[in-house]
């Protein structure tokens, strides 16, 4: 009886990985610094208008590693 209970408990402890709700299992999510464009306004010139440069937060990749799952795409 005791052995039976132990095996049941072990089955429950077994970690179940669930898909990350934030990145939907992608492991990456859109960069918030540039809004997923990869570019940010680096300077505004009254004459020339806003100057766009590569986003320093995502390095122009448009996406960043998901902070919720750490890039795994799954959370335990």
- Separation between Cα atoms, residue 55 and residue 71, nearest integer Å: 19
Nearer to Zn ion, 6 or 19 (CB): 19
- Separation between Cα atoms, residue 42 and residue 53, nearest integer Å: 6
Among 30, 63, 65, 68, binds Zn ion (CB under 5 A): 68
Subset of 4-63 contacting Zn ion (CB under 5 A)? 20, 22-23, 31, 33-34, 55, 57-58
Nearer to Zn ion, 52 or 68 (CB): 68
In the numeric block, the tokens 């009886």 are attached to 1
Reference 65, options 16, 37, 32; nearest CA is 32
Binding site for Zn ion (CB under 5 A): 20, 22-23, 31, 33-34, 55, 57-58, 66, 68-69
């Amino acid at each position: 009886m005791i052995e039976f209970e132990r095996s049941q408990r072990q089955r429950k402890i077994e970690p179940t990985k669930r898909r990350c709700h934030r990145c939907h299992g992608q492991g990456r999510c859109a960069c918030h610094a540039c809004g997923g464009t990869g570019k940010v306004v680096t300077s505004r010139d009254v004459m020339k208008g806003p100057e766009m440069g590569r986003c320093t937060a995502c390095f122009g990749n448009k996406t960043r590693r998901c902070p919720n799952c750490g890039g795994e795409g799954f959370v335990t």
